[in-house]
Amino acid sequence: MDAHVIDSTLFRNDYSTEDTRTLWSARSVLQSWLDVEAALARAEAAVGIIPEGAAVEITRVADASLYDLDELREEMERTAHPIVPVVRAMTALSTGDAGHWVHWGATTQDITDTGNVLLMKGSLQLIEDGLAAVTEEVRRLAIEHRDTVMVGRTHGQQALPVTFGFKAAVWLDELQRHATRLAEARPRILVGQFAGAVGTMASVGEAGLEVQRRMMEDLGLGVPNISWHAARDRTAEYAFLLALVTGAMGHIAREVTILQRSEIAELEEPNPRGKVGSSTMPHKRNPHISENVGALARLTRATAVTALDGVVNENERDWIALQSEREYLARLSCHTHAALVQTAHVLEGISVRSGNMRRNLDLTGGMLLSEAVMLALGRTLGRQVAHDVVYDACMKAFETETTMKAALLADPQVAEHFDEAAIDALMDPEAYTGLAGTFVDRVADS
């Protein structure tokens, strides 16, 4: 069955990737639990809690390929428990009395929490690699288009000239912060769990700390200061970080979508022959990939709320929070990696229509440079008077569908100080991009 879009034969690559589907598959989840059980057994054997031979045998049977997933599912449903059927199956496969020592001193949440952390570790690597790929594409665009002048927009309206390289550098700076966040969060998030029924290690006593240390070293995870059975901030932080990263992809994708509008046509995502925009309008060149990334960003944002709900826990164990994590961690990880892969694809093949950027700079008949004119005029008239003069000229130009230049030259206060050549110089968009290029250089070199 593939009822969920992540696994859907039809839609899975819109919502996930082969790597994340494999990582969070049922057999991989089982393998993560088995890896934890085996590491626990090896650590306990090392300190003399269980026989060395038992640890060897438990490690041998900690291979997901040895187990029938359908049988395990049926037992999980019968027992209403995820780990007891696994422990029983491991015991049955073990030779001698090794099975007596499976899961010694552990509680279910030790296994499932640490298993999830192992899967999150794998996801973080995929996500960091995907983020690096997007970052390099954005860096390339920022450098390549450092001086490609285009309209800067605020409130959906033309504001002042910028460069496309500057716009990409804003994205780049954000992506670099996300890379730093992910790196800084690793030691907080990638921490294992072995603490026993209520987190006190009563089942293994004084040796518990050494077992825990050896076990986590074996798994490549951090050692907690205390049980985090009821402290779900680690998984919540993971969810928030992934929502931020996917949100950044949504930010880029939204800009591509907006700037691909027919009336603007400054950017266009890859549109190879055969890509169809509409079943009934053959002319359409729709930004479907970018829109899909936007949908993934929306879905991950919603998941962050669920993660925050899980931080409020009850007593020493709250199964509601754990069950929520079981559902959203896989979905969230799949969506985030898919968004990264799709955004990288868009940026690798994006069309930058510099000719249309140049055309749109002239769309408002010079009003894009109203600030430059105002400040120049303000040196003699004062800023506020100059603002009023240029405001009146702009409103007249807009309402009479003429140019700002004509309206300015018709004003005696302006004509007294500026001739046509001076106005033309002030209204050159390429001369009014400020430190856009400097900022591109600063971000691209950081």
Task: Identify whether residues 290 and 394 lie together within a single domain.
Answer: no
What pLDDT shows up at residue 256?
Answer: 96
- Closest residue by Cα to residue 124 from 215, 218, 234, 289: 234
Task: Identify whether residues 234 and 244 lie together within a single domain.
Answer: yes
Domain end (from 362, 391, 412): 362
What pLDDT shows up at residue 147?
Answer: 96
Is 436 inside a domain boundary?
no
Helices 319-348 and 288-309, axial angle in degrees (round to 10): 160
Q: Is 335 tagged catalytic?
A: no
What pLDDT shows up at residue 408?
Answer: 86
Query: What does the alpha-carbon distance between residue 401 and residue 111 come to, in Å, rounded to a whole number?
Result: 71
**Domain containing residue 407: CATH number:** 1.10.40.30
Is 441 inside a domain boundary?
no
Task: Identify whether residues 333 and 396 lie together within a single domain.
Answer: no
Q: Which two tokens stand for residue 191?
A: 């921490």
**162 phi, psi to nearest 5 deg:** -130, -170
8-state DSSP, 266: S
Task: Identify whether residues 244 and 302 lie together within a single domain.
Answer: yes
Task: Identify whether residues 100 and 34 lie together within a single domain.
Answer: yes
Task: Identify whether residues 259 and 305 lie together within a single domain.
Answer: yes
Task: Identify whether residues 175 and 298 lie together within a single domain.
Answer: yes
Task: Identify whether residues 347 and 240 lie together within a single domain.
Answer: yes
8-state DSSP, 224: P
Catalytic option among 155, 262, 279, 446:
155
What pLDDT shows up at residue 19?
Answer: 96
**Domain containing residue 274: CATH number:** 1.20.200.10
Contact 245, 324 (CB under 8 A): no
pLDDT truncated to tens, each residue of the chain (446 aa)?
Answer: 687 888 788 888 888 899 999 999 999 999 999 999 999 999 999 999 999 999 999 999 999 999 999 999 999 999 999 999 999 999 999 999 998 999 999 999 999 999 999 999 999 999 999 999 999 999 999 999 999 999 999 999 999 999 999 999 999 999 999 999 999 999 999 999 999 999 999 999 999 999 999 999 999 999 999 999 999 999 999 999 999 999 999 999 999 999 999 999 999 988 777 777 666 877 878 889 999 999 999 999 999 999 988 889 888 888 888 889 899 999 999 999 999 999 999 999 999 999 999 999 999 988 899 899 899 888 988 899 889 888 888 898 888 888 888 888 888 888 888 888 988 898 899 999 999 999 999 999 98
What pLDDT shows up at residue 14?
Answer: 85
Task: Identify whether residues 155 and 92 lie together within a single domain.
Answer: no
Q: How many structural domains is the chain composed of?
A: 3
What pLDDT shows up at residue 303?
Answer: 93
Domain end (from 343, 362, 381): 362
Query: What does the alpha-carbon distance between residue 171 and residue 383 come to, in Å, rounded to a whole number?
Result: 33
What pLDDT shows up at residue 444?
Answer: 95
pLDDT (tens digit, 9 = 90+) per residue, 154-211? 999 999 999 999 999 999 999 999 999 999 999 999 999 999 999 999 999 999 999 9
Task: Identify whether residues 324 and 250 lie together within a single domain.
Answer: yes
| 3-state percent breakdown (helix, strand, coil) of the chain, nearest 5 | 65, 5, 30
CA 20 to chain CA centroid, Å, is 14
**Domain containing residue 98: CATH number:** 1.10.275.10
Task: Identify whether residues 47 and 170 lie together within a single domain.
Answer: no
Domain end (from 325, 342, 362): 362
What pLDDT shows up at residue 389?
Answer: 86
pTM attached to this predicted model = 0.93
Is 304 inside a domain boundary?
yes
Is 445 inside a domain boundary?
no
Query: What does the alpha-carbon distance between residue 44 and residue 33 come to, in Å, rounded to a whole number?
Result: 17
Long-range Cβ pairs for the range 127-133 (8 Å, 24+): 127/182, 127/242, 127/245, 127/333, 127/336, 127/337, 127/340, 128/179, 128/182, 128/183, 130/337, 130/340, 130/341, 130/344, 131/175, 131/178, 131/179, 131/182, 131/245, 131/340, 132/179, 133/340, 133/344
Is 272 inside a domain boundary?
yes
Q: Is 16 tagged catalytic?
A: no
pLDDT (tens digit, 9 = 90+) per residue, 375-431? 988 898 889 988 988 888 889 888 888 888 888 888 888 888 888 898 889 889 999
Q: Could you list the residue range(s) of the whole structural domain that residue 419 is in? A: 367-426
Catalytic option among 81, 100, 278, 417:
278
Is 440 inside a domain boundary?
no
Task: Identify whether residues 8 and 41 lie together within a single domain.
Answer: yes
What pLDDT shows up at residue 13?
Answer: 84
